[in-house]
Structure 1
Amino acid sequence: MRILHTSDWHLGRSFHREGLLGHQAAYVDHLLEVIDAEQVDLVVVAGDIYDRALPPVDAVRLANEAFTRIAHSRARLVVTSGNHDSAQRLGFGADLMDAAGVHIRASALSVGTPVLLEDEHGTVAVHGLPYLDPDLLHEPWQLPARSHEAVVGEAMRRVRADLATRPGVRSVVMAHGFFSSAARPVETSDSERDISVGGVSMVSTDVFDGIDYAALGHLHGRHTLTETVRYSGSPLAYSFSEAHHRKGSWLVDLGAAGVTSTEFIDAPVPRRLARISGTLADLLADASLARHEDAWVQATLTDAVRPAQAMERLRRRFPHTLVLSFQPPGGHRPGSAGAAVAAGRSDHEIALDFVDALRGRPASPAEAALLRDACDACSPDRDLDTVVS
């Protein structure tokens, strides 16, 4: 059986206000091409189909289109809910869709009940675990602790109880969460939502011992925790911390005795990400940065004094600059911004100190006069910017 493992589509998400729905639709096109070219039998999507519990209409339309196209392909589809999804919304109509070869597992009630598939070697049991919230399941499942380890442990106990009734059956488990191996620690990214309970979110990969393949979701970078336990990562970059990620999905061959081969299939890259740093003059003049002129750019300026119209000037060379920050040598100067807010100082003095700290040089006389007028306009006594006591 040939399996295509993907996750964390986050349909409806934007990237620093840049819409991504068109790029996400292109990824769906790519998936269908892979299904056909690689003769894929099963597609598994391990959670976070949507970016939020109440997704926008266009995102729902794209998910519907994706599921329908895969249902009409040669592959079966198993989808689980993630921590960003609404289990009730994603799982609506799941029983009806089963008959069409689209199997959505979004309810904890389904844990322990597999999707059964056949190939030339026999049966494959696919156990799709939705995102399991320890707070919601602590009492219903009578867990010994309110933790991800406890809730996933109980879910896997139910999975193994089912597999024990199916001797010789190969197993695939889909799970959405933070799993790690002491031998191969994982790397997180800025776009992943914290799911920790009591400060702890990690679950050991030991929980999947004996499973032929574990298809994981939640982390946005691809990871091989063991040869049979993997994260596919998100198909697109959702933060600049993912600039170095290789995006795509795992193509897994499941033979008579388990996994026989794995291959990472690269996803199309709509626009590269670049993180650049230096003075504004250097960034505008450095010929080696020409390769980033068509990328989405995060720029950090290291000028001692904040340049005027920095974003506009950067975008003349790097038109897709999305994030601009300032990091002057030595950081903020002492005596500015934070220290300036003290009893006995007028609003006008505080505003002047703020301007000085923000851009590294004091306000001009004209700017100071404008700030005084603004402070006076906000003061109860319009004739005087009173001293704060």
Structure 2
Amino acid sequence: MKILHTSDWHLGQSFFTKSRKAEHQAFLDWLLEQIAANGIDAVIVAGDIFDTGTPPSYAREMYNQFIVAISQLGCTLVVLGGNHDSVSTLNESKELVACLNTHVVASVVTNEVSNFVAENSEQAGNQIIELSNSRGETGAILCAIPFIRPRDVIQSSAGESGTEKRQALGSAIKQHYHQLYQAALNIRDEKQLSVPIIATGHLTALGVSQSDSVRDIYIGTLEGFAADGFPPADYIALGHIHRPQIVAKSDHIRYSGSPIPLSFDELKTVKQVMKVEFDGSDRTGITPIEIPRFQPMAVLKGDLGAIETQLKQYENSLPEMPVWLCIEVEIQDYLSDLQQRIQTMTEHLNVEVLQLRRSRNKAQQALTQVERETLAELTPHDVFAKRLELETFDGEKEQARLGRIKQQFREILSEVENPEQSA
């Protein structure tokens, strides 16, 4: 059995007003080639198919065309809803694409899972999927878990503290995973199958490295899910984090990452999809397949002289597409004509400057100030405020995020300083 794990396509994304349509189409074409070349039996897309809940028409068309194309290869497709996806948008074509060997799981249905475990029936809604191998036999059992919204698994109670809400939500998510895993075990035992059990998820597991393009998921008050809450599945295919990585040093718990860089800080990351192979119930290999870069992009840093020197590399190069640039200028004084200077440097080059910013000097200023202070002179609020000064919170969404961070800090500090009130 061969599984291909991918996630976070974000079809329809607008990148500094630039469309990613060409990149996404190139990726989907490349993915179909990999499916055919590697004899893939099933593809799992672990959330965030679209960038918004109302994707542009061309993004929906790409999605539908891909489903038709992959069905012609005899490969099963499993689409999980992410926090960016609209449940209704994914569900509107669910029954239609089911005729093309595509399973869409847009949201969690806890009642169906509970009924399955209680009655020991052979169906648990659409969250337990038997994936077929090349011989048409069941090659794996999938616990198809999309992005979990708080209302899907828990009901909040008045008077709960922040800690109690976090613990209750974490326990509810853990319970949902283990209920589905038990349902998969029951099917495997009843049918006497020697196949692996695979689980999915679209969330932030604790201890992972994020990028600028990842928008925080606040599942109630839970900011991260502990990896020990996952069931002992043979492979856990995760989405939401755009950098491919292993979770909690467990080789079988993985983020595949996004297929294209969704922010400039992702350029140092090699984009990939994960090929997972099984022989019966034994996992025989996890192999990353590197995804080509479909759009030239680069980040240039330094003072104006250094930037001008770095731009010379594009003087004689004539790529098929202009290079998208992020330029971060290190300057001591404010320059009102910075944008005009950069425009003059780049006007004859095959580049497009999508982001121009001044580098932050707050870190150096903070280090200088810390040398004159001792920790004993600072309150917890002082230390926290100084740490926040090292970050940038530009725009309405980032300011809202800053407000949530401050509120959570106040709740935690209150619980630490007044343990008798939270007991």
Amino acid at match of 1:85: D
Query: Residues 260 and 288 from structure 1, CA distance in 2 versus in 1: closer, same or farther, beyond 3 angstroms?
Result: farther
Task: Give the aligned partner of residue 150 of structure 2.
Answer: 134
Deviation at 1:40, TM superposition (A): 0.6
Deviation at 1:129, TM superposition (A): 0.8
Structure having the larger proportion of residues in helix: 2
Query: Residues 292 and 249 from structure 1, CA distance in 2 versus in 1: closer, same or farther, beyond 3 angstroms?
Result: farther
Deviation at 1:139, TM superposition (A): 2.6
Task: Give the aligned partner of residue 305 of structure 2.
Answer: 281
* Aligned partner of 1:149 among 154, 170, 189: 170
Task: Give the aligned partner of residue 237 of structure 1.
Answer: 261
Deviation at 1:160, TM superposition (A): 2.2
1:14-41 C-alpha deviation (Å, 9 max, x unpaired): 2211110111011110111001111111
Deviation at 1:179, TM superposition (A): 1.3
CA contact (8 A) 2:245 2:254 kept: yes
Amino acid at match of 2:181: R
1:198-217 C-alpha deviation (Å, 9 max, x unpaired): 55321122233420111110
CA contact (8 A) 1:91 1:107 kept: no
CA contact (8 A) 2:108 2:152 kept: no
1:85-114 C-alpha deviation (Å, 9 max, x unpaired): 001210223234333210111131266541
Deviation at 1:4, TM superposition (A): 0.7
Distance (whole Å) between structure 2 residues aligned to residue 193 and residue 130 of structure 1: 17
Deviation at 1:320, TM superposition (A): 2.1
Distance (whole Å) between structure 1 residues aligned to residue 183 and residue 47 of structure 2: 22
Amino acid at match of 2:108: A
Task: Give the aligned partner of residue 158 of structure 1.
Answer: 179
* Aligned partner of 1:259 among 260, 283, 286: 283
Task: Give the aligned partner of residue 105 of structure 1.
Answer: 105
Amino acid at match of 1:300: E
Are residues 1:247 and 2:263 paired? no
Query: Residues 249 and 173 from structure 1, CA distance in 2 versus in 1: closer, same or farther, beyond 3 angstroms?
Result: same
Are residues 1:77 and 2:93 paired? no
* Aligned partner of 1:312 among 324, 343, 363: 343
Give the secondary-structure state (helix, strand or coil) at the position aligned to 1:179: coil
Deviation at 1:195, TM superposition (A): 0.8
Amino acid at match of 1:8: D
Larger Rg: 1
* Aligned partner of 2:326 among 274, 298, 303: 298
Are residues 1:174 and 2:205 paired? no
Query: Residues 169 and 302 from structure 1, CA distance in 2 versus in 1: closer, same or farther, beyond 3 angstroms?
Result: closer
Task: Give the aligned partner of residue 371 of structure 2.
Answer: none
Query: Residues 179 and 102 from structure 1, CA distance in 2 versus in 1: closer, same or farther, beyond 3 angstroms?
Result: same
Q: Which moved more, 1:276-285 or 1:30-39?
A: 276-285
Task: Give the aligned partner of residue 194 of structure 1.
Answer: 216
Gaps of 5+ in 2: 114-123, 157-163, 366-423
Give the secondary-structure state (helix, strand or coil) at the position aligned to 2:242: coil
Query: Residues 90 and 151 from structure 1, CA distance in 2 versus in 1: closer, same or farther, beyond 3 angstroms?
Result: farther
Query: Residues 281 and 22 from structure 1, CA distance in 2 versus in 1: closer, same or farther, beyond 3 angstroms?
Result: same
Task: Give the aligned partner of residue 322 of structure 1.
Answer: 354
Task: Give the aligned partner of residue 269 of structure 1.
Answer: 293
Amino acid at match of 2:217: I
Amino acid at match of 1:138: I
* Aligned partner of 1:116 among 123, 126, 130: 130
Distance (whole Å) between structure 1 residues aligned to residue 62 and residue 221 of structure 2: 35
Amino acid at match of 2:270: R
Deviation at 1:278, TM superposition (A): 2.0
Deviation at 1:55, TM superposition (A): 0.9
Deviation at 1:169, TM superposition (A): 4.0
Give the secondary-structure state (helix, strand or coil) at the position aligned to 2:205: strand
Amino acid at match of 2:176: A
Amino acid at match of 1:282: A
Amino acid at match of 1:159: L
1:96-140 C-alpha deviation (Å, 9 max, x unpaired): 433321011113126654111244785411121121111453239
Deviation at 1:329, TM superposition (A): 7.0
Amino acid at match of 1:131: F
Give the secondary-structure state (helix, strand or coil) at the position aligned to 2:4: strand
1:250-283 C-alpha deviation (Å, 9 max, x unpaired): 0110222332111111112122432222222332
CA contact (8 A) 1:46 1:216 kept: yes
TM-score normalised over the length of structure 1:
0.76
Query: Residues 60 and 151 from structure 1, CA distance in 2 versus in 1: closer, same or farther, beyond 3 angstroms?
Result: farther
1:271-322 C-alpha deviation (Å, 9 max, x unpaired): 2432222222332134785599763211122233524512312423462221
Number of corresponding residues = 326
